[in-house]
Each structure stands twice: as C-alpha cells, then as structure tokens.
Amino acid sequence: MLELLLSRVVGAVYSDHFGLNTHQWRVLAAVAVWGPIEAVQVSRWATVDKAAVSRAVRALISKDLLRRSLHDQDGRKITLELTPAGRRTFKAVVQRIQVIQDRLFKSYERRKVQEFFTMLRTLESRLREIIIEPVR
C-alpha cells in the first residue's frame, strides 16, 4: 500500500507538472544518474522492460529531453544522454520530490532518516543482485 501511495504522489509531480509517464520518468532518471548510458543498460537500471524503454526513449527524444548517439567505441551500440532541457527537467522534478520527502520526514531526526535511506539503498542493491543471479 505504501508503494502505491508514494507512486501516486510522486507520479503526480512528473505527470501533472512535466507531462511524463512513469516509464519516461524512470528512463530520464536512469540516464540522469548513470548517463551517458547504453540504451540496453537502461532497461536493467530503470527496471523497465525493453519495449517500454524504447517507447519512452522515442518520446523523450521528441520532447528534446534525451539525445541518442552512436557509442564511441562500438558503432552498433546506442548511447543516451540528457539534453540541457532534460537536465533542467530532471532537476526540477527532483526538487519537487525533495519537498514531498521533506514533508514525509519532517518529524524524524536527521540520523534516523539517513539510516532509513541507507537501508533502502542496501535493499535495492541486494535486489539488483538477485535479478542478476536469481534464487533457484
């Protein structure tokens, strides 16, 4: 239930204010954090299937938020990076999400909030390891 509520609140930020759907936001964020990045890697890091990544990339390029180019060493690979407008959009969305985060954690001690995010990063890392090497 918490994930649904959080998704709804955060989704309103990138959807209502910036016209992005969930897949577009995830791709934009993945490229912002790990970019320039190969297009095939976005699916893994953004936890979005390849077809949805492809549609999101096309939409983000048409909105001038993302740039696609050939990989420096291997011309068969595609590299994605944010345009200046993409960087501004990412920054603006993150700032609005920060306001939401500040409201959520306003009554907690800073140390407790830091511990919480450390735990979340650890869980995320472990889940990514499980995706790479599934439990059998």
- Please give the Cα distance from 17 to 37 (Å, whole number): 26
Bridge partners of residue 68, in order along the sequence: 80
Q: Predicted confidence band at 3 (pLDDT cuts at 50, 70, 90)? A: confident
- Rounded to whole angstroms, the Cα distance separating 134 from 136 reads 6
Going across the sheet that includes 37-38, the strands are 37-38, 78-82, 66-70
Decide: pTM greater than 0.75: yes
4-53 pLDDT, tens digit per residue, is: 788 888 888 888 889 999 999 999 999 999 988 888 888 877 778 889 99
Query: Which residue type does 17 have?
Result: H
Residue 20 and residue 11 in contact, taking contact as beta carbons nearer than 8 Å? no
